[in-house]
Amino acid sequence: MPLILGLLGSPLPHGNTALLLDRALAGAAEAGCAVERVNVPLLTFEPCMEILHCMTAPECAQFDDLTQFYAKVVAADGIVIATPVMTMGMPGKLKGFLDRFQVFYWAKYGRREPLVPKERRSQRHGLLLAISGLPRGTEPRVFDGVLNSTRAWFDIVDVTAGEELLIDHMDEKRDLAGFPALLEEARAMGQRLGTRACEGRRAPPGG
């Protein structure tokens, strides 16, 4: 069964960002996928310390709560990143999580030995769900930091960047439970991600 991994960057496990992620994962489950939600702020790990062990070895020298997710990211058929915008970027814990995947960067671009098998790279897709308190009319670039980090990370871990649901002006909206159309959009995006994952699993190697 295809696996969709959902990374929650918000420190609120039941907040608006979590609600969006849960809807997207529900859509992926409807498509026939196994889903796993990861509450990143609740994990105990240090940011990348630039030990540089991964320049020459296929593993990170740091061992903590994050270590298990290297294998899970390789196994995933799709990944959803759900995050609020904080200080024009991602919350620190989520950014630290992504930065720890230098082990994938050096394998792919340094040693030319990617950790994700070549035949699976085109079959893995990503989805970004992001919330901003500010309206884009006031700050047009409010999502730029999140977009740049997400797209770079997807490239590093061999996930094709896919759909993006960017919801602004949350300081006025307050509660997404009152905006069923946005929640339905998240569910539909998750379902499409799950459908692509199922199709990728059925595709012949190299297909």
Is 85 part of any domain?
Answer: yes
Is residue 11 within 8 A of residue 180, CB to CB? The reply is no
Give pLDDT, residue 198: 87
DSSP letters for 79-148: EEEEEE-BTTB--HHHHHHHHTTHHHHIIIIISS--SS-HHHHTT-EEEEEEE-SS-TTT-TTTTHHHHH
Is 207 part of any domain?
Answer: no
Is 144 part of any domain?
Answer: yes
User: What's the pLDDT tens digit per position in 26-82?
Assistant: 999 999 999 999 999 999 999 999 999 999 999 999 999 999 999 999 999 999 999
User: What's the pLDDT tens digit per position in 118-140?
Assistant: 889 889 999 999 999 999 999 99
Check whether 206 has a pLDDT greater than 60: no
Angle, vertex CA 127, rays to CA 183 and CA 182, nearest 5? 15
**For residue 179, what are the contacts with CB-CB under 8 A and spacing of at least 6?**
173
Check whether 143 has a pLDDT greater than 90: yes
**Nearest-angstrom CA–CA distance, 181 and 166:** 13
Q: What is the domain range of residue 157?
A: 3-202
Give pLDDT, residue 131: 98
Give pLDDT, residue 62: 97
Query: Tokens in use for 145?
Result: 């930091």
The total domain count for the chain is 1
Question: Can you give the CATH number for the domain in which 83 is found?
Answer: 3.40.50.360
Check whether 205 has a pLDDT greater than 70: no
**Nearest-angstrom CA–CA distance, 65 and 9:** 15
- Name the average pLDDT for the chain: 95
Q: Name which of 191, 133, 119 is nearest 162 in CA terms.
A: 191
Confidence of residue 207 (pLDDT cuts 50, 70, 90): very low
Is 195 part of any domain?
Answer: yes
